[in-house]
Structure 1
Amino acid sequence: MEESYPLVSICMPAFNAGKYIQEAVRSILEQTYSSWELIIVNDGSTDDTALVLEKFDDPRIRIHHQKNTGQCAAANSAYGLSRGRFIKFMDADDMISPDCLSDQMRRIGNSNDIIASAAWGRFYQNDINTFKLNEDLVRIDCRPIDWLVSAMDGKQVMLQCAIWLIPRTVLEKSGLWDERLSLINDFEFFIRVLLHAGEIRFAENAILYYRSGLQNSLSSLKSQKGAKSAFESIQLGTSHMLSFESSERVRKVCADCFQNFVYSFYPFHQSLVRCAESKVRELGGAEIPFESGGYTKLLTRVMGWKSVKKLKILLSGGAK
């Protein structure tokens, strides 16, 4: 392997991903950067994922089957099997642009202390033609804490795993995925990882195509277990930031993170919601508004966001 083209390891947990994983793998096979390996961990899938994986015959693809242990544990298993100098974690239902790896490697250069970020956007109903690039991106090169504050200011931060290309040396310092977490586990993990790097550099030709609207996706689950995981991930992630820099700007965006938890989970899981509200007050108050538009925005002004949220739940048949 030529040193000018170091190996990139793509670590992909897969659980019941038979419907989408071929597209994810195809996007990797189409990379203009060819020095990569793909480690797929089939995490006890009960659909046809194992059968679909048998179709892949590229020698750069390695497949490991295990009993179901959860996304974090499967990601850690994939990392344990990897050999690359650089690591990208990637979900089995997303895709990346053909120049993703090459542009991120160009931005990192020969450094072991720089993490490359990427552009991203969503597509819906499994239709790539609905893809729309997110314009609200942090496009500058900056210190990790500055990136985090900018990405969180007034909005929910996107820390989806395939956005990042990470030197192995950074992961050796930061540690791996917290296997206690399920919902928004990427929040805690990537804050911890980013804060162990020296710089974040933006690769504009690297694009993540993020599949949205999956009814059974992990992110759509709001069980008590999921709500507890989300709260713990926010608590851990914000603690990492505050330990790094306990400034007014960091406290503000951390308060907004807890306020977003309140907006998302109210009126369910009341004990966790109250804990989050207490965190907001402790951090000096939040400024991020309740997301609304049209008639909802008008009703929020008249009734307050909590009444509007209850009304929306009632009209949708009580779904969370």
Structure 2
Amino acid sequence: MALLNELPLVSQKRGWPWNEEVEQDVYESKKHWPKISIITPSYNQGKFIEETIRSILLQNYPNLEYIVIDGGSTDDTVDIIRKYEKWITFWVSEKDKGQANAINKGIDKSTGDIFNWINSDDYLAPDALVTIANAFKKGYSVAGNVYNFYDSDPGFKDIIQNKGLSGHQFLSLKSTFHQPGVWCDLNNIKAAGKFPEQSSYYFDRIFFTAYFIQFSQVIYSNEILVHFRYHENSKTLVIRDSKADELIDYYNELLKNPLFEDFKKDLKLALKYQLLPEKHISDWEYENAHKKIGSRLSSYLGLMLKKPELIQSRHFFTKLKRSVLQNLT
């Protein structure tokens, strides 16, 4: 049964997923659909989570397992979850150890064929689940496109296409990886182990580093599956502006791991041309953020003299263009 008329009315909102839903006739082509398990980890995202929930439920997917793991929110998140609890397979609101811990808790409850998590500030595109289910094969991952957006900038358009998710390309950071668009066989996810809960920012990339080495078969889709929201509290923006120490430490540990002997070249290239340059440039930006333009430019060029290897990194010239030279115009 279609859900739109059953779900709580949100009268002040229009469009997907407020007063629109995926039509049920898209599911008439099959009698049996693979079970899709979706987890939404959440903490104090009452501003956004209703859109997330509705975008998942209003897929009208016939074999959905939806789990919400909230970290003990103190805003109106729990009130919103309760509005929809009739259609949520399982939910809990309790203090946890962070996002990776919430996802691990959700995986322990998951019983489906296909798995992903959708954060409580993002939302599924219409027809996302029928697209994923039609593409899915047992043992494979399905990787589609992700639409990045800013609520404050309607003109911003950035579509990221997941590609090159093989072990070597992923390790060398030559792939394009945007987690919400990557949907995996749940059995493979469980076989790969737990998401690293000690990781603050890069737990997904750390987990999938080992995952794509073990389970390298990926089916690629050109369809947009998820809308990914940038906002001032977005973890992705925090990572973009933060040091890469967490991932650098992880890569250095992998270099000592005999299981990654065949990937040492990839690890070293990633460290030399991406991770270490990002760290050096991030450190520079932090130290020079409040300097005048002339001082910023001279110190940035001085960085090149101190660390000439940065010339081989595209990040050096990207930062020069975006953060230094554009302020001269």
TM over 0.5: yes
Match of 1:77 among 101, 105, 110: 105
**Equivalent in the alignment of 1:55:** 83
Residue 273 (structure 1) aligns with: none
Change over 3 Å in CA distance of 1:49–1:244 after alignment to 2:
farther
Determine helix, strand or coil for the equivalent of 1:290.
helix
**71 and 98 in structure 1: CA distance in 2 versus 1, 3 angstrom threshold:** same
Q: From 246, 256, 275, give the equivalent of 2:263.
A: 246
- Other-structure match for 1:275: none
Does the Cα contact within 8 Å between 2:168 and 2:263 map onto a contact in 1? Answer: no
Q: Which SS does the other structure have where 1:10 is aligned?
A: strand
Counterpart-to-counterpart distance in 1, 2:244 and 2:205: 14
CA contact (8 A) 1:234 1:257 kept: no
- What amino acid maps onto 2:269 in structure 1? K
Letter aligned with residue 166 of structure 2: P
Q: Deviations over 1:17-46 (max 9, x none)?
A: 100011111211232633111111111212
Instruction: Kindly report which structure 2 residues correspond to 1:84-103, keeping only aligned pairs within 5 A, or say none.
Output: 84-103=112-131
CA distances 1:184-215 after superposition (whole Å, capped 9, x unpaired): 32221222222221311112224221111x22
Matches within 5 A, 1:223-238: 228-233=245-250, 235=252
Instruction: Identify the residue that residue 22 of structure 2 maps to in structure 1.
Output: none
For 1:186, the equivalent position in structure 2 comes to 204
8 Å Cα contact 1:7-1:36 kept in structure 2: yes
Q: Which amino acid aligns with 1:187?
A: R
| Residue 218 of structure 1: aligned partner | 235
Q: Is the Cα contact below 8 Å between 1:159 and 1:186 reproduced in 2?
A: no
Q: Which amino acid aligns with 1:100?
A: A
Corresponding letter in the other structure for 2:123: M
Q: Is the 2:255–2:264 Cα contact (8 Å) retained in structure 1? A: no
Question: How many angstroms apart in 1 are the aligned matches of 2:61 and 2:253?
Answer: 35
* 2:313 paired with 1:287: yes
* 66 and 231 in structure 1: CA distance in 2 versus 1, 3 angstrom threshold: farther
* Counterpart selection for 1:121 from 140, 147, 167: 147
Where 2:38 maps in the other structure, the secondary structure is strand
Q: How far apart are residue 94 of structure 1 and its match? A: 0.8
C-alpha contact 1:119 1:203 (8 A) present in aligned 2: yes
For residues 102 and 173 of structure 1, the distance between their equivalents in structure 2, rounded to whole angstroms, comes to: 25
User: Residue 256 of structure 1 corresponds to which residue in structure 2?
Assistant: 273
Return closer, same or farther for 1:244/1:107 CA change in 2, 3 Å cut-off.
Answer: farther
TM-score, length-scaled by structure 1: 0.72
Q: 1:265 to 1:58 in 2, by over 3 A?
A: farther
Q: Which residue of 1 aligns with 2:11?
A: none
Q: CA RMSD in A?
A: 3.9
Conservation of the 8 A alpha-carbon contact between 1:182 and 1:226:
no
Unaligned runs of 5+ in 1: 270-280, 316-320
Pair 7,137 (structure 1): closer, same or farther in 2 beyond 3 Å: closer
Contact 2:145 2:226 in 1 (8 A): yes
**Deviations for 1:130-187, whole angstroms, at most 9, x for unmatched residues?**
44323x652xxx772255268x33xxx6544321111122122211210001123222
Show structure 1 runs of 4+ deviating over 4 A.
126-129, 225-228, 233-242, 247-250, 283-286
Q: Which residue of 2 aligns with 1:148?
A: 170
Hey, what's the Cα distance between the residues in 1 that align with 2:253 and 2:122? 26
How does 1:278-317 map onto structure 2 within 5 Å? 287-290=313-316, 292=318, 296-297=320-321, 308=324
Tell me how many residue pairs correspond in the alignment: 277
1:176 matched to 2:202? The reply is: no
Paired with 2:77 and 2:201, the residues of 1 have a C-alpha distance of: 22
Alignment of 1:19-34 (within 5 A): 19-31=47-59, 33-34=61-62
Contact 1:16 1:45 in 2 (8 A): yes
The CA deviation at 1:292 is: 3.2
Between the aligned partners of 1:243 and 1:289, the Cα distance in structure 2 is 26
Q: Which protein, 1 or 2, shows the higher relative CO under an 8 Å CA cutoff with sep ≥ 6?
A: 1
The answer to whether the Cα contact below 8 Å between 2:41 and 2:102 also exists between their aligned partners in 1 is: yes
1:218 partner amino acid: K
1:154-173 alignment to 2 at 5 Å?
Answer: 159-173=177-191
Identity among equivalent positions (%) equals 20
